[in-house]
Structure 1
Amino acid sequence: MEASENWLVESLRLYQDFHAFDLSGATRVLEWIGDKGVFVAGYESLKKNEILHLILPLRLSVKENQGLIPDRDFKVCHGGFSDKPVFDLKHVPETRLLVTSGLPCCSLKVWQITEDSDVIKAVSTLAVPEEGNLWPRLAVFSSMAPGVLHGARLSTLRITDLESQKTAYTSGIGDSEVLSSLQVLGTDTFAFCCTSGRLGLVDIRQKWTPSENISPSPGSGGGRWCADIRNGGQGLGPSIASFCSNGQLCLLDPRDLCHPVSSVQCPVSMPSPDPELLRVTWAPVLDNCLAISGFDGTVQVYDVTCWSGVGSQVEPLFTHRGHIFLDANELDTTPLVTTHIWHPCKPRTLLSAANDASLHVWDWVDLHASS
């Protein structure tokens, strides 16, 4: 209790803004719609799971601190129910469509946010290969004919046109490597990361000839990997971040995926108890900063400016511990952060969720800059 009280006092200095909420069920999905709305979705088995479109508190929309402001809580704008757990959800930009994935994975579900009501309704399904306990990763191409990139393995990786439901692109290979993440980079390019640490950049204007690293990074010890590429990832410098369940984090230049620019060890408390929840994300409007989560009840923020070489130990610029000390459900075990996401416009604002159904919005103070 004393540690919790100490953290509450310290939080007055650590945060510019902090909002804590309790959802009706835990989510592993946080997906932006604009800069004021976010989607969450439950992932429990054997029950209907809510899909909610939430509007952020008004206080987070003002440009400066204006004291007490009404509507300090999330507001439910739209909602619906999924018959199966939602492990991934993507909003198709400039449309009212969503695509979800989960287990069992015999299909992807396409949803529509209705204009004349507050309902999110299912409008179609996309058949996918059955992969047992694996579920398709998702990314979305936003063009004149929106398409969803999906696959559980490299061999089943394809792009499906959302209107015609026809396959627009397929890897066409028999490689059974398991995917951990997919990311659209431009109109004709995307990136994949396999659980082994294998990374690739793909141009869909040609047959499957990705620029890739075949072997996992040294020192991974068989851990599970995920990755993220910062905006403008085809430019100069190490714009790819690859994160392992044992805390190893590599920065790579997209022009040379076989030789990391740096490989560091993050001070994680233990290897991730659920590597499916691992997440690394680049800050969209804060130079050279990224965040990691999925190994305990925290979210760690790093400044990678001075990283170089291999094997060095690094310390976070900031650690969000709110899910540990604000555990309203008083679980016997420490909550595990299920996902996090940066605000698209506010430099130091993040959202994070944990398996105790807590949802936090926090704007951290850079104490190094103010000292």
Structure 2
Amino acid sequence: MDNTELDDILDDWFIESLKTYKDLHVYQLEHPTQVIEWTSGKTVCVAGYSSSRNEILELRLPLKLLADENKGLCAERDFKVVHGGFTEGPIRCLRHIPGTRCVVTNDGRSSDLQVWDLGGDDSAQLLSCRPTADVIKKKGSVEGRSKVSETGSRIAARDASLPQVLHGAQSSDVQLTELTSGQSLYELETSSAEPLSSLQFVGDTVFIAGCCNGSVYVADTRTSGAPQLSPPPASPGEAVLWWTDASVGAQQSSCRLVRLSSCGQAVISDLRNLGGAVCQAQLDVQTHRCQLDDVRVSWAPTLGDCISVSGFSGVVQIYDASAWKTELGEAQPLFQHRGHVVSSQQADGCVPVFVTSHVWHPERPRTLLSAASDGSVHVWDWVNPDGSVADDPTLETK
């Protein structure tokens, strides 16, 4: 591809973007990240995953994005590093502990966790961490139950009087640990040792453990009783891996699960009847042999029937599941963010760009952050194709 063709592609996409985005801001990391975790409504944590030393950063979103009115009066259009530090190994999983200035990470090589103090805020030092302004420092570690792990641990956190994390590399070693004392408060009792793709609280004490083979455990940390087990969904093809996410409503009974397979099949179930499919669809994704950390599927927090998918290619797709049926049928995305792959096109033979992570904003309905293998990080507010949310269909770029 010559420079003229590339310029034409970029120009066409920019013109198209004027209609399809309410906001779009671009940031470039020195090294790509596989984790994007909210630490507040305005800040996120990212971290590198190369085999050697990596940065761990807390970034503030562009002030221009956060200005609901008079955006033209806000000059700052870029992300800003507010805290930073270094880790000696990769970071494949990262979770913020609600109510604290601490995050917990895993390197993808073992089941052990690392605890980090983000610093800069002395109002919630629940781990007795003495903050150092602007510096992210390692403050401790948590030993996992698995001595050997090929996939690393998944982590879930909840708001509690004392900070706690749920963690495990496989279904047989999930445990709830109090970070202050290191005490194990709960262990999932199961004889199965399936590698995990996700851990997620769906209530104050109830959590789901999604396994790579598509099975899901539902358990309550208040009881030592056997967890509820849902087998993998029926699949017309060979589903090598499955990823899971839950949509949590005001009541636990309204919780829905989406399970996405590596062959592109998405199955939605109700927590009260995980054995049956409420609806399902074959998504329009570029299926290939995926690794566990490649793909993300996520429910929109404030758009009840929307799910987002990334990792199959260089795009992030938004699907509206409200029209899906119980029988498997093909589904087209409601919206696609192609910014990463378009901006990375430089010359023939260049390495394909893949989206490495994405996350919805917890409060802004159509705002997402996404990161790609070229180190780019985008925050974007997409416009519903019917135009119903286009209060100001202007594009802000950096």
TM-score tier after normalising by the smaller chain length: over 0.9
State how 1:240-279 maps to structure 2 within 5 Å.
240-271=257-288, 273-279=290-296
Does residue 85 of structure 2 align to residue 80 of structure 1?
yes
Does residue 185 of structure 2 align to residue 180 of structure 1?
no
C-alpha separation between the residues in 1 aligned to 2:82 and 2:314? 28
C-alpha separation between the residues in 2 aligned to 1:165 and 1:152? 18
Counterpart of 2:182 in structure 1 is 165
TM-score (norm: length of structure 2): 0.88
C-alpha separation between the residues in 1 aligned to 2:220 and 2:14? 49
SS of residue in 1 equivalent to 2:374? coil
**1:224 Cα shift?**
0.6
Give 1:250's aligned amino acid. Answer: V
Counterpart of 1:222 in structure 2 is 239
Counterpart of 2:44 in structure 1 is 38
State which of 197, 213, 238 in structure 2 corresponds to 1:196.
Answer: 213
**1:333 Cα shift?**
2.5
Aligned-pair Cα RMSD in Å? 1.9
Q: Give per-residue Cα distances to partners, 1:85-114, cap 9 Å, x unaligned.
A: 000111101111110001331521011122
State how 1:1-371 maps to structure 2 within 5 Å.
1=6, 2-45=8-51, 47-67=52-72, 69-105=74-110, 107-115=112-120, 116-128=132-144, 129-232=146-249, 235=252, 239-271=256-288, 273-327=290-344, 332-370=350-388
SS of residue in 2 equivalent to 1:243? strand
TM-score (norm: length of structure 1): 0.95
**1:146 Cα shift?**
1.7
**1:208 Cα shift?**
4.0
Q: Give per-residue Cα distances to partners, 1:103-140, cap 9 Å, x unaligned.
A: 33152101112234101111111112222422011111
| Change in 2 beyond 3 A, CA 1:233/1:355 | farther
Using the TM superposition, name which of 187-196 and 97-106 deviates more: 97-106
C-alpha separation between the residues in 1 aligned to 2:176 and 2:116? 18
SS of residue in 1 equivalent to 2:137? strand
Using the TM superposition, name which of 68-77 and 31-40 deviates more: 68-77
Give 1:197's aligned amino acid. Answer: G
Q: Are the counterparts in 2 of residues 28 and 41 from structure 1 also a CA contact under 8 Å? A: yes
Using the TM superposition, name which of 297-306 and 1-10 deviates more: 1-10
C-alpha separation between the residues in 2 aligned to 1:190 and 1:329? 45
| Change in 2 beyond 3 A, CA 1:193/1:31 | same
Higher relative contact order at CA 8 Å, sep ≥6: structure 1 or structure 2?
Answer: 2
C-alpha separation between the residues in 1 aligned to 2:320 and 2:111? 41
C-alpha separation between the residues in 2 aligned to 1:342 and 1:215? 26
**Runs of at least 5 residues in structure 1 that lack an aligned partner in the other structure:** none
What is the number of equivalent residue pairs in this alignment? 370
C-alpha separation between the residues in 1 aligned to 2:372 and 2:88? 22
| Change in 2 beyond 3 A, CA 1:238/1:314 | farther
Identity of aligned residues (%): 38
C-alpha separation between the residues in 2 aligned to 1:103 and 1:329? 32
| Change in 2 beyond 3 A, CA 1:351/1:194 | same
C-alpha separation between the residues in 2 aligned to 1:334 and 1:154? 34
